[in-house]
Amino acid sequence: MAYGLHWAEGPKLHRVMLETESLHPADLTAADRAAWRALTAAQPAFGSPLLGPEFAQAVGVVRHDARVAVFRRDGDTIGFLPHHRRPGGLARPIGALLSDFHGLISAPDFNVDGAEALAAAGLSSFRFSGLIDPFALFGSTVGREAHGIALAEPPEVYLEGLRAASPKRFKNWRRLENKLDREVGALRFVAPDHSEETFETLLRWKREQLHRTGGHDFLRPEWTVALLRNLFALREGDFQGLMLCVYAGDRLVAGHFGVRLGDVYHPWIASTDPELAAWSPGQTFLNQAILAMPSLGLTRYDLGPGHDHYKRPWATTQTAIGEGVALAASPAGRRAGSFETAWALAGARRNGAVGRLHRRLDAIASADLTMSGRLRGFVDAVTAQARKGQEVEN
């Protein structure tokens, strides 16, 4: 589907045509993919595996509603907005809730703000939770931080620096690691790990963890697990799934699974054996994973947003990401704005009960495509909230 938008540009108010085409990722041409890769290569902020055409195409295999708005001016391709087109013209980041990073991929001279771009793509709004926006196309957004490890020195030097900065913390982690090695089994790190049994165990542990903590089970929808399994089976090329694991003897202790693009790794699944929680296996895993980065050809290890207390001690970089909703410069955008205003007045943008409910409902709507799945997600959310309330009272 093609759209067009005229707008005034510069002091001479030249009329310029922005041509926009909405495609399923499978329908991107080789030239489109090459232009997209060139844009990501030119801007370090777009270096995540989640921001390239490969991820969009992988999601397109399992989601029929995957779309890419391709922006062209005077025959040149100047931008891409990968998304899911939902009822009412609402756009959600492609692959949400697995798309920790997302945005409108463009050059610095795109010269169209986010509201105009959405209108040009025939969208009413764009809801985002991990917006990468180096050119401020969407203006000021509510921000939070995503953490990462970028190695500019040998990992041993980096780890020694962390120990020097927090000697008590790292001494305790080393003590627990030695205890795990001594009492459970000799530790070994497998990277990459191609065991299908281990892969399924990591997914099961993650689902059990989400149930215990009351988090939304993003692995329940069929498409999310299908996407992860497809990527796990992908073993060739710069873009592929990657699983890293620590074992104590033959016993799986902890692991990460995610996707890599060249020298950048972005894990989604971080799982540990719940029976070994007292040994802090996640810390042991990260220590081993960092040491293995050079042999794996990795220079950046994304830790993603959230869980700051766990990630911040390891991180060398913090990336500002946006959370909110952008409205199209169109009648459809104004209608969507009325709905957003009602939620805001009810308290959706605050950290109270309404805000938590709104974020949970948004997570459910992002991942669960069926009415039965959304209903079950809502019941789980209510149950989790009630359980937390009881814990507070007790």
Residues 115 and 207 in one domain: no
Q: Is residue 314 part of a domain?
A: no
Per-residue DSSP letters for 199-221? HHHHHHHHHHHHHHHT---TTSS
Q: Is residue 259 part of a domain?
A: yes
Residues 389 and 340 in one domain: no
Residues 137 and 180 in one domain: no
Whole-angstrom distance, CA of residue 164 vs CA of residue 34: 45
Residue 170: what pLDDT?
A: 85
Residue 127: what pLDDT?
A: 92
Domain at 38, CATH number:
3.40.630
Short-list 95, 20, 92, CA closest to 52: 95
Q: Is residue 311 part of a domain?
A: no
Residues 294 and 337 in one domain: no
Whole-angstrom distance, CA of residue 60 vs CA of residue 70: 15
Residue 349: what pLDDT?
A: 54
Q: Is residue 312 part of a domain?
A: no
Residue 341: what pLDDT?
A: 60
Whole-angstrom distance, CA of residue 174 vs CA of residue 181: 10
Domain count for the chain, please give it.
3
Residue 12: what pLDDT?
A: 33
Residues 274 and 363 in one domain: no
Residues 339 and 353 in one domain: no
Residue 380: what pLDDT?
A: 61
Specify which residues 302 forms β-bridges with. 148
Residues 103 and 159 in one domain: no
Structure tokens at 196: 């299908």
Instruction: Please check whether residue 219 is in contact with residue 203, taking contact to mean a CB–CB distance below 8 angstroms.
Output: yes
Residues 228 and 190 in one domain: yes
Residue 173: what pLDDT?
A: 86
Residues 223 and 285 in one domain: yes
Residue 393: what pLDDT?
A: 44
Instruction: Please check whether residue 93 is in contact with residue 83, taking contact to mean a CB–CB distance below 8 angstroms.
Output: yes
Q: Is residue 309 part of a domain?
A: no
Q: Is residue 303 part of a domain?
A: no
Residues 6+ apart with CB under 8 A from 318: 145, 146, 147, 148
**In terms of DSSP bridges, do strands 300-305 and 264-272 run parallel, antiparallel, or are they unpaired?**
parallel
Cβ burial 99-126 (10 Å sphere, 16+ → b, else e): bbbbbbbbeeebbbbbbbbbbbbbbbbb
Instruction: Give the angle subtended at the CA of 104 by the CAs of 99 and 110, to the nearest 5°.
Output: 165
For the chain, which residues score pLDDT lower than 70?
1-16, 339-363, 365-367, 370-394
Residues 259 and 329 in one domain: no
Instruction: List pLDDT tens digits, range 57-116.
Output: 999 999 999 999 999 998 899 999 999 998 889 999 999 989 999 999 999 999 999 999
Residues 100 and 164 in one domain: no
Residues 84 and 166 in one domain: no
Residue 386: what pLDDT?
A: 52
Cβ burial 278-296 (10 Å sphere, 16+ → b, else e): ebbbbbbbbbbbbbbbeeb
Residue 266: what pLDDT?
A: 97
Q: Is residue 251 part of a domain?
A: yes
Where in the sequence is the domain holding 383, given as residue range(s)?
347-394
Q: Is residue 306 part of a domain?
A: no
Residue 15: what pLDDT?
A: 36
Residue 303: what pLDDT?
A: 93
